[in-house]
Structure formats: structure tokens, C-alpha cells
């Protein structure tokens, strides 16, 4: 019996030891570590006891028993640490740990001393017999043995306590794993009690240490309680936010979570099974395939969006054993996405399409429609910046919202509208539905509604008939805006149509401004001169009129480019060039002794923005050392009127320097006779409009008479432009005009021709 038992103990010990070395080495969790310590301490205990049983002498037997008792203390410490880690009920502090170690150390020391002292203060070994075999067993136990016992029982209590607490406090599902550990511990205790009570010679309970070590290892590392898994899985499905409905192979609903009951508004399993049958549509489960789709449902009168998936469940042999549906409520995501999409495609302020989205939708709409059936209507507010500046951003915003709302009303089926930028809106609509009167009315209404008594908002609309649906929407809008440009200055015209002439104009404008720089540097600009003649027929000089000698187009008259250059501000460079050419010519004449002749040069209203007129002209006469009297300056009436006070000062300074200033085109603008008295100019150039044949010729002549007599009285010289007939000359001479300029005398001519004609006689 003894031999069988010791062999069993040793085999068991070796097996457990090997297990402890192999398993869980890489697992560094504290619990696994505690289990490994148990798996090392348990075989040591068993080996020590086996060694004691087979000891040949009393001394070695006592030594082995002492080691056995000490190691079993250590094993209990390991178990205690394991139990604490496993249950997390309480922790022991370092001080308590030290006390534990000390107690065990004292116990171990006493055991060893017991061997050498030969006093039986703990235990004494004696020879025993077991079925004819003799071995040393514990023959007597001394009083101090109780100390060892106390340690053992104390530690058992400490181990059992947290397990019991856990069993009482944990959810039912978890109790099992604590039960199993507690039961294995109980087995050891029971076996031990049995050994002591029955005064057995061999302690069979030692084997239970090994069993317990293996059990702990098995329950913690290898065995995952099936019930726990199932419990966790079913509770996670139960608590899911998604609906889950499971079916067996026959199509019977075997489970549905509470969310699913809400989704199907079901009380029993009937609705689930109906849904299943509808989806299967007569197929067998084995014929169906996993699938995903979207569904919308009305829940509490609100639309909700679901992502539904169907999955088959198969066993390990790939046989279909059931299936389930899962409905994920993605309403929040869908609504968030919709809100984001709205933000990306709509204008924040007005809530209508933004430019990019408007372009996209128009592109599709126009492409799908019959060619030529749509038109693009774009709007622009005159001086919108002023509205913001004067009335504030809030009023400005209100105006814009107002316009957006009007667009909404005007847009019927098939129309697309949006806000292109700041104060620019566009609507793309079927041509047949565009009614200019309706738009004009709406524009007027917006003006009345948005303005104040002092400021009325003025809006213009440009229309482009979309003939070619393949051009970019931005180009369609550009064309509509090109049309607006033609009426921008008007207060009465509010709608303009685009035609191809406009585009050609704009293209040729662009071409011209592109060519300008090189043309100027290349000397393509020169001036012609038109003689100015006194009443007595004497040549006094002439007006410098610029000409572009274009390498391809020949001579281009100023009417074709002055306006464009004024728009872009390039006019200033051109004028400075002409002024310089005129001064150079005057210097040449001076050198030839021809100092009685003047040249009048034109100053564009735009030149005043871009150049310091005083500095430029004084600089020029000083550079060419000519008399300022010979360079006459023509300033248009409109330039003077645009900033009367400032121009007055400038004109006076120029006159003080010695220049003669002429007011060009007098009578073409808003001139008033009353204004003449404040005007410090030397000469009045009366606009040729007064000489044109009109129904009111008599009245024109009367006015002309008045102007001339008034300027005479104010000491101003009068030049009349555009004189074409002898009759005009006679009339003008009669009413007191001093100087004439016109085709009757001569057309503008190249300077060389002028010189030849008048100087070489």
C-alpha cells in the first residue's frame, strides 16, 4: 500500500510539475502566476511526503516530515494569494504579507529544530507497519504541533472566506466557478480530517493537494464554463440596441429580444414568423443566402431607417441549423448624414442651393431637357455693399432672404434656383415659363419692400437662353451677367437679354486689352491733329486725337478703344504717352521758331484717379522746355462735375502755372448755365450736339446764343466743335464764336500732313 501510494504521489507530482513548466508561461496575468506557484508548491509537498514515507532512517524521515510540513505551509500561502486574486474580495497589505512569511518561517524553523533537538516538542517519528512493509510515520505529536495546526487552519479560513463571500454576492451565472474551487478545497480538508480522526498511518489527503492543484488549473485556464458563455451571449443579445430574431430550421421563431418585439409591434412570435416566410418566399433555409438590405418604417409617426441583415447559422459540418435577422436602427446616422449633405449643398443664410450644387443640378436638368428649352436668369443688386454699410448686416441678410423667397415663388416645376455668391442669385427655368413682366414686377416689389424712404434697392436681371446645353453652367451665368452690364447704369431697365454680339464685344475687348501693352511699347499709338481756326481763318493750332495704327486692322479710331481702356484704367498709360508725344512735337516746333501754335490734349476723367495731373503736366513742360501756354488741357465737363471742389483747386493751380484749361464737350452732360460763373476754365468747347439737325434746332440755337454771350461776359473764349457747313460758320460768327473746329475746315490728319499744309506755305 505504501509503495503504491508513494509511486502514485511521485508520478502525480512529476506530472503536475511538468504542467506548471509548460502551461501559461507567456501568460503574465497575476492570477496565472498564482496558479503556477500552486502547481510548483503542490508537487513539492507531495514529493516531500513520499520521501518521508520511504525514508530508511528515523532521522531522514523526521527531516522529510519537517520539510513536508514547511512546504505545505508555503502551498497554503500560494493558495491564499490565488484565492485573493481570484475573488478580489479583499487584499492583504505588505505588512500582513510579511507577518505571514514570518509565521511560516518560524513554523519551518521549529520543524527543523525539532529534527535536531530530539525533543518531541512538535512530533516524533516511529516505525510503522503496513502490510508487512516498515516505514517511519508520525508516532507522537507534541504541544507545539498545535502551533502548526493553528497556522494551517487559520490560512484555510482565510482562503475559504473570500470564496464564500463571492458565492453569496455574485450573479448566479458566476457562482459556479467559485463553487468548483471551494469544493476542491473542501475535499482536501475532509480528507485531512478523516486522516486525523481515523488515526491512519499514511496520510492519503496529500494526494488531494495534487488533485486540487490540477482542478484549479483546469477550471481557470482550460475549462470555460459553457453555461457562462451561453449566459453572457444571451444577455448581450438581450441588451443589444439592435433587434435580433432567431429561427430554427423549420422557420419557428425560437428567440427574439425585446427590441425586436418593439420593432415588429409583436406580442407573440406570429409577426416574426410571417416576416420570415415573406423573406423566404417559398425557399428552404438551405437555399437562402446571407443578405443585407435597408428598410424604413413608421414608428410613432416618425420615419426610421433600418439596416437589416439575414444570416444562416451552420454547424461544424456546414449543415444549416437555423438563421437570424438583425435590424440595426440607423436613423441617427442617416439623419446626421442628411444634415451634412444639406449643409454641403445648401446656402446657410437662405437655405436654397449653393453655387456648386446649383451648377450640378442645372447641368443634369439641362442635359436631360430638350435642347434650347431652358434659360438662365441671374440677378444682381446694384451697390449691395452700400446696403450692408448703411443699414447693417441684418438688413442686408433680410434682403437676401427676401430674394431667395421670391425665387422660390417664381420657380415652378422643372426650375432650379440657387445663390451664386453674396448678392447674386440664379434661376434656371423652362424658357416658356419665363415672363419678363412677372420678373420686372417682382424686382420692383423687392425694391419697395427692402428699401427705405431714402434708399431703394435696385436689382437687375440678365437672361441667357441656353442654346448649347454642353457649355459649363458657370459660362451660362457669366453670359447672363454680361447682359446685366449693358443696363447696370440704368434705373428703369431691369431685365436684359444676352445675345452673341455681347460675347463678341467682350471677346474683342479682352483681345484689345491683351494687345494694348505691346502696342504701346511698339509705338503703334500716335496722334492725329485737327486744326482749330479763328473767325478770321487763321490756324491757331489743333487738337491731338489719338490713333492706333494696328498692324493688321490698319488705323483704329479712338471710339473703338477709349471706352474699353477707360474701363480697365489703361487709358492713363495711353494718355501719358499721347501727352508726351504732343510735348515732343511742341518742342520740335519751338526749335523751328513756331511758337504761336498750340496743341490741345484730352484728359480722360479716369486719368484723375490714376495720375497726379499737376505733377505730370508741369513735369512735361519742364522736361521739353516748352511754354505751358502752347499745351492746352481739355477736361470734360463730366470730369469737372464729378468732384467740383477738387477740380476747381486743380484747375486754378494749373492756370497759375500758365496752362490754359478748356472745358470739353460742354452741353453734353448736366451742364447748367448758372454753373458757368463758378467755372474758372479759360475756354469753353461747345459740344457738337448743338449743331445737329434736330426738330428743336431753333431752341438749340437760342441756347447756343445764350451760352456764347454768357461766356463772353465771363471772359471765356468759345470753341465750337463739329462745324461742318458754311451756314453753321456764318451763324456761329454772328453770335460771337471765336474759334472753330470741324470737318468744314479740316478732318483730323497726321501731324506731318498738318505741318506740310500749314507751316510750309
Residue owning grid cell 437562402:
288
* Binding pattern for the stretch 331-350 against Ca ion, x by CB under 5 A and - elsewhere: --------------------
Q: From Ca ion, ligand C2E, none, which one binds at residue 478 (CB under 5 to 8 Å depending on kind)?
A: none
Least distance (Å) between residue 690 CB and Ca ion = 12
Among 32, 208, 243, 604, binds ligand C2E (CB under 6 A): 604
Element (H, E) at 700: helix 697-713
Among 607, 665, 738, 755, binds Ca ion (CB under 5 A): 665
Q: In DSSP terms, which residues pair with 672 in a beta bridge?
A: none
Q: Would you say 108 or 742 has its CB closer to Ca ion?
A: 742
Q: Would you say 51 or 681 has its CB closer to Ca ion?
A: 681
Ordered DSSP codes for 473-520? HHHHHHHHHHHHHTTTT-SS--EEE--HHHHHHHHHHHHHHHHHHHHH
Q: Which cell is 745 given?
A: 475746315
Check: CB of residue 320 under 8 Å from CB of residue 285: yes
- The answer to the question of residue 563 lying near ligand C2E (CB under 6 A) is no
Least distance (Å) between residue 544 CB and ligand C2E = 6
In a 13 Å sphere around the CA of 213, the CA atoms on its Cβ side amount to 30
Among 52, 185, 458, 545, binds ligand C2E (CB under 6 A): 545
From 228-236, 369-377, 702-710, 716-724, give the range in contact with Ca ion by CB under 5 A.
716-724
From 51-59, 106-114, 192-200, 665-673, give the range in contact with Ca ion by CB under 5 A.
665-673
Q: Pairing state of beta strands 243-248 and 320-329?
A: antiparallel
Q: From Ca ion, ligand C2E, none, which one binds at residue 423 (CB under 5 to 8 Å depending on kind)?
A: none
Least distance (Å) between residue 441 CB and Ca ion = 42
Q: Would you say 345 or 638 has its CB closer to ligand C2E?
A: 638
Least distance (Å) between residue 621 CB and ligand C2E = 18
- The answer to the question of residue 602 lying near Ca ion (CB under 5 A) is yes
Among 664, 671, 686, 690, binds Ca ion (CB under 5 A): 664
- The answer to the question of residue 542 lying near ligand C2E (CB under 6 A) is no
* Binding pattern for the stretch 174-213 against Ca ion, x by CB under 5 A and - elsewhere: ----------------------------------------
Q: From Ca ion, ligand C2E, none, which one binds at residue 546 (CB under 5 to 8 Å depending on kind)?
A: ligand C2E
Q: From ligand C2E, Ca ion, none, which one binds at residue 210 (CB under 5 to 8 Å depending on kind)?
A: none
- The answer to the question of residue 329 lying near Ca ion (CB under 5 A) is no
Q: Would you say 498 or 740 has its CB closer to ligand C2E?
A: 740
Contacts of 152 (CB under 8 A, 6+ apart): 72, 73, 76
Angstrom distance (rounded) from CA 251 to CA 310: 13
CB neighbours of residue 364 within 10 Å: 10
Q: Would you say 44 or 581 has its CB closer to ligand C2E?
A: 581
From 98-106, 124-132, 539-547, 730-738, give the range in contact with ligand C2E by CB under 6 A.
539-547
Q: Which cell is 421 given?
A: 455668391
Among 80, 410, 562, 613, binds ligand C2E (CB under 6 A): 562
Residue owning grid cell 430638350:
370
* Binding pattern for the stretch 288-317 against ligand C2E, x by CB under 6 A and - elsewhere: ------------------------------
Compute how many residues bind ligand C2E; rule: CB under 6 A: 23
Q: Would you say 121 or 758 has its CB closer to ligand C2E?
A: 758
* Binding pattern for the stretch 604-643 against Ca ion, x by CB under 5 A and - elsewhere: ------------------------------x---------
Angstrom distance (rounded) from CA 195 to CA 72: 16
* Binding to ligand C2E in span 712-731, by CB under 6 A: 721-724
Angstrom distance (rounded) from CA 166 to CA 90: 11
Contacts of 180 (CB under 8 A, 6+ apart): 215, 219
Q: Which long-range contacts (CB under 8 A, 24 or more apart) does 671-680 make?
A: 671/637, 671/641, 673/706, 673/707, 673/710, 676/707, 676/710, 676/711, 676/714, 676/716, 677/714, 678/648, 679/640, 680/648, 680/651, 680/652, 680/655
Helix (H, G, I), strand (E, B) or coil at 744: coil
Angstrom distance (rounded) from CA 642 to CA 92: 97
Q: Which cell is 282 given?
A: 417559398
Residue owning grid cell 450644387:
357
* Binding to ligand C2E in span 652-691, by CB under 6 A: 664-665
Least distance (Å) between residue 354 CB and ligand C2E = 43
From 73-81, 126-134, 475-483, 570-578, give the range in contact with ligand C2E by CB under 6 A.
570-578
Angstrom distance (rounded) from CA 303 to CA 319: 39
- The answer to the question of residue 683 lying near Ca ion (CB under 5 A) is no
* Binding to ligand C2E in span 729-758, by CB under 6 A: 741-743, 748
- The answer to the question of residue 447 lying near ligand C2E (CB under 6 A) is no
Q: From ligand C2E, Ca ion, none, which one binds at residue 442 (CB under 5 to 8 Å depending on kind)?
A: none
Compute how many residues bind Ca ion; rule: CB under 5 A: 5
* Alpha carbon separation from 650 to 188, 488, 525, 576, 628 (Å, rounded): 120, 31, 28, 18, 15
Angstrom distance (rounded) from CA 565 to CA 513: 7
Q: From Ca ion, ligand C2E, none, which one binds at residue 24 (CB under 5 to 8 Å depending on kind)?
A: none
Question: Dihedral of CA 386/390/391/394: which sign?
Answer: positive
- The answer to the question of residue 755 lying near Ca ion (CB under 5 A) is no
DSSP letter, residue 690:
G
Angstrom distance (rounded) from CA 326 to CA 293: 11
Check: CB of residue 337 under 8 Å from CB of residue 330: no
Q: Which of 588, 739, 751 is nearest to 662 (CA)?
A: 739
Q: Which of 150, 155, 175, 153 is nearest to 164 (CA)?
A: 175
- What does the longest C-alpha to C-alpha distance in the chain come to? 172
Q: Would you say 575 or 721 has its CB closer to Ca ion?
A: 721
Element (H, E) at 206: helix 205-217
Q: Would you say 18 or 555 has its CB closer to ligand C2E?
A: 555
Least distance (Å) between residue 604 CB and Ca ion = 10
Angstrom distance (rounded) from CA 216 to CA 218: 5
- The answer to the question of residue 557 lying near ligand C2E (CB under 6 A) is yes
- The answer to the question of residue 530 lying near ligand C2E (CB under 6 A) is yes
From 336-344, 414-422, 492-500, 557-565, give the range in contact with ligand C2E by CB under 6 A.
557-565
Angstrom distance (rounded) from CA 422 to CA 387: 12
Among 242, 329, 380, 575, binds ligand C2E (CB under 6 A): 575
- The answer to the question of residue 738 lying near Ca ion (CB under 5 A) is no
Least distance (Å) between residue 604 CB and ligand C2E = 4
Check: CB of residue 85 under 8 Å from CB of residue 159: no
Angstrom distance (rounded) from CA 664 to CA 643: 16
Least distance (Å) between residue 518 CB and ligand C2E = 19
From 45-53, 178-186, 591-599, 663-671, give the range in contact with Ca ion by CB under 5 A.
663-671
- The answer to the question of residue 414 lying near ligand C2E (CB under 6 A) is no
Q: Would you say 379 or 720 has its CB closer to Ca ion?
A: 720
Helix (H, G, I), strand (E, B) or coil at 738: coil
- Applying CB under 6 A, which residues contact ligand C2E? 530, 544-546, 557-559, 562, 571, 575, 578, 602, 604, 664-665, 721-724, 741-743, 748
- Applying CB under 5 A, which residues contact Ca ion? 602, 634, 664-665, 721
Amino acid at each position: 500500500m505504501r509503495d503504491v501510494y508513494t509511486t502514485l504521489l511521485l508520478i502525480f507530482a512529476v506530472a503536475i510539475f511538468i504542467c506548471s513548466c509548460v502551461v501559461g508561461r507567456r501568460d503574465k496575468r497575476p492570477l496565472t502566476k498564482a496558479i503556477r506557484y500552486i502547481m510548483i508548491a503542490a508537487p513539492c509537498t507531495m514529493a516531500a511526503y513520499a520521501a518521508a514515507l520511504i525514508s530508511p532512517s528515523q532521522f531522514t524521515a523526521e527531516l522529510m516530515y519537517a520539510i513536508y510540513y514547511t512546504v505545505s505551509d508555503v502551498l497554503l500561502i500560494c493558495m491564499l494569494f490565488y484565492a485573493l486574486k481570484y475573488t478580489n474580495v479583499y487584499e492583504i497589505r505588505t505588512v500582513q504579507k510579511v507577518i505571514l512569511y514570518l509565521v511560516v518561517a518560524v513554523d519551518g524553523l521549529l520543524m527543523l529544530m525539532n529534527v535536531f533537538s530530539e525533543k518531541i516538542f512538535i512530533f516524533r517519528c516511529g516505525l510503522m507497519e503496513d502490510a508487512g512493509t516498515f516505514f517511519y510515520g508520525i508516532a507522537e505529536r507534541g504541544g507545539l504541533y498545535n502551533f502548526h495546526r493553528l497556522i494551517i487552519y487559520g490560512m484555510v479560513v482565510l482562503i475559504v472566506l473570500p470564496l464564500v463571500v463571492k458565492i453569496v454576492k455574485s450573479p448566479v451565472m458566476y457562482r459556479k466557478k467559485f463553487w468548483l474551487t471551494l469544493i476542491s478545497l473542501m475535499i482536501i480538508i475532509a480528507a485531512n480530517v478523516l486522516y486525523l480522526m481515523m488515526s491512519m498511518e499514511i496520510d492519503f489527503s496529500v494526494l488531494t493537494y495534487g488533485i486540487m492543484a490540477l482542478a484549479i488549473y483546469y477550471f481557470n485556464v482550460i475549462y470555460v464554463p459553457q453555461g457562462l458563455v451561453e449566459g453572457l451571449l444571451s444577455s448581450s443579445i438581450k441588451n443589444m440596441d439592435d433587434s435580433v430574431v432567431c429561427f430554427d430550421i423549420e422557420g419557428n421563431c425560437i428567440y427574439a429580444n425585446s427590441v425586436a418585439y418593439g420593432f415588429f409591434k409583436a406580442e407573440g412570435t406570429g409577426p416574426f414568423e410571417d416576416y420570415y416566410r415573406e423573406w423566404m418566399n417559398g425557399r428552404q433555409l438551405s437555399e437562402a443566402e446571407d443578405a443585407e438590405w435597408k428598410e424604413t418604417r413608421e414608428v410613432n409617426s416618425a420615419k426610421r431607417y433600418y439596416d437589416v441583415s439575414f444570416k444562416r447559422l451552420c454547424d461544424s459540418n456546414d449543415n444549416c441549423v437555423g438563421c437570424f435577422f438583425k435590424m440595426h436602427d440607423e436613423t441617427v446616422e442617416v439623419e446626421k448624414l442628411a444634415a451634412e449633405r444639406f449643409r454641403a449643398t445648401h446656402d446657410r443664410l437662405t437655405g436654397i442651393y449653393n453655387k456648386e450644387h446649383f451648377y450640378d443640378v442645372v447641368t443634369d436638368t439641362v442635359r436631360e431637357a430638350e435642347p434650347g428649352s431652358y434659360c438662365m436668369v441671374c440677378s444682381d443688386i446694384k451697390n449691395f455693399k452700400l446696403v450692408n454699410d448703411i443699414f447693417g448686416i441684418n438688413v442686408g441678410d433680410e434682403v437676401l432672404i427676401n430674394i431667395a423667397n421670391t425665387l422660390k415663388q417664381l420657380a415652378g416645376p422643372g426650375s432650379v434656383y440657387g445663390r451664386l455668391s453674396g448678392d447674386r442669385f440664379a434661376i434656371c427655368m423652362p424658357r416658356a415659363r419665363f415672363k419678363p413682366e412677372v420678373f420686372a414686377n417682382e424686382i420692383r416689389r423687392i425694391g419697395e419692400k427692402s428699401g427705405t424712404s431714402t434708399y431703394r434697392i435696385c436689382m437687375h436681371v440678365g437672361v441667357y437662353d441656353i442654346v448649347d446645353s454642353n457649355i459649363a453652367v458657370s459660362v451660362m451665368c457669366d453670359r447672363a451677367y454680361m447682359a446685366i452690364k449693358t443696363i447696370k447704369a440704368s434705373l428703369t431697365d431691369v431685365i436684359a437679354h444676352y445675345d452673341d454680339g455681347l460675347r463678341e464685344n467682350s471677346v474683342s475687348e479682352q483681345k484689345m486689352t491683351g494687345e494694348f501693352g505691346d502696342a504701346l511699347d511698339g509705338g503703334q499709338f500716335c496722334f492725329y491733329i485737327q486744326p482749330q481756326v479763328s473767325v478770321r481763318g487763321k490756324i491757331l493750332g489743333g487738337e491731338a486725337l489719338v490713333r492706333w495704327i494696328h498692324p493688321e486692322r490698319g488705323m483704329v479710331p479712338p471710339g473703338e478703344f477709349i471706352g474699353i481702356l477707360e474701363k480697365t484704367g489703361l487709358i492713363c498709360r495711353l494718355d501719358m504717352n499721347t501727352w508726351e508725344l504732343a510735348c515732343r512735337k511742341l518742342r520740335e516746333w519751338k526749335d523751328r521758331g513756331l511758337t504761336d501754335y498750340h496743341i490741345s490734349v484730352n484728359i480722360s476723367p479716369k486719368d484723375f484717379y490714376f495720375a497726379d495731373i499737376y505733377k505730370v503736366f508741369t513735369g512735361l513742360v519742364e522736361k521739353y522746355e516748352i511754354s505751358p501756354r502752347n499745351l492746352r488741357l481739355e477736361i470734360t465737363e463730366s470730369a469737372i462735375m464729378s468732384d467740383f471742389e477738387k477740380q476747381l483747386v486743380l484747375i486754378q493751380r494749373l492756370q497759375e502755372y500758365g496752362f490754359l484749361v478748356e472745358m470739353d464737350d460742354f452741353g453734353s452732360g448736366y451742364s447748367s448755365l448758372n454753373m458757368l460763373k463758378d467755372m474758372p476754365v479759360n475756354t469753353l468747347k461747345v459740344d457738337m450736339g448743338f449743331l445737329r439737325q434736330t426738330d428743336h434746332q431753333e431752341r438749340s440755337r437760342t441756347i447756343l446764343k445764350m451760352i456764347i454771350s454768357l461766356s463772353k461776359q465771363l471772359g471765356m473764349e468759345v470753341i465750337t466743335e463739329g462745324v461742318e457747313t458754311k451756314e453753321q460758320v456764318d451763324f456761329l460768327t454772328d453770335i460771337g464764336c471765336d474759334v472753330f473746329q470741324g470737318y468744314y475746315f479740316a478732318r483730323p490728319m497726321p501731324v506731318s500732313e498738318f505741318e506740310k499744309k500749314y507751316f510750309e506755305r
